[in-house]
Structure 1
Amino acid sequence: MLLPTARDLRGALTRYAEAVIEDERFPTAATARTREDRAYTLCVMTGAAEVVAALHAADALLERRGTRVRRTKRLPAVLPLETLRGDRVGTPKDVRPMSAPSPRPVHSVDEAA
């Protein structure tokens, strides 16, 4: 089996991650198909049968080559409400709808002169 270069592997991982994000945010038949295509590409590149195994294999290949990027703390798939509101911690009852900005007064040409 030919091994992919680190650059190709990182590119495939990036494209797969982008496809997953897009499919999770705006699920359509097209985004699901793109996600499947990117998963298949990773599987072919790593010789794995499933995408989870392909992700682990890609990590191992990059680590062996010394090109693995240090991972940061992984975020959960769904962020807690407190995270979205910054430092303020509360319950969903605390969330109030945003008020619309007040309309600006419209000045006619005569008033500006």
Structure 2
Amino acid sequence: MGEKGVPNRRYTDEFRVEAARLANSVGHNEAARRLGLPVATLGNWARKQREGGAATPGAAASVSRAKPGVSELEAEVSRLRKELASAKLDVEILSKATAYFAKGSR
């Protein structure tokens, strides 16, 4: 076990690249919270991607393509739909919790 009880895990090259992209778009702290990763690990991946073009050597070829294939686009759409569904569920839960706590504070 590492610091704060986070076990040592192995991540795929694709996961590291996508996690670094997420960190660059929403911030390292928010991305680390969403993915359940240590902030330092995510920061290292993002820094390596900026410096070397990819988080790992094997991922460089998949990231640097000019036009992704149809199956890659379909996978991206599927991932985004799942992410949207998760975000909608989060909003629904928060709105119900807000209503519950607002009712109790009267």
Tell me the TM-score range normalised by the shorter chain.
0.3 to 0.5
TM score, norm. by length of structure 1: 0.34
TM score, norm. by length of structure 2: 0.36
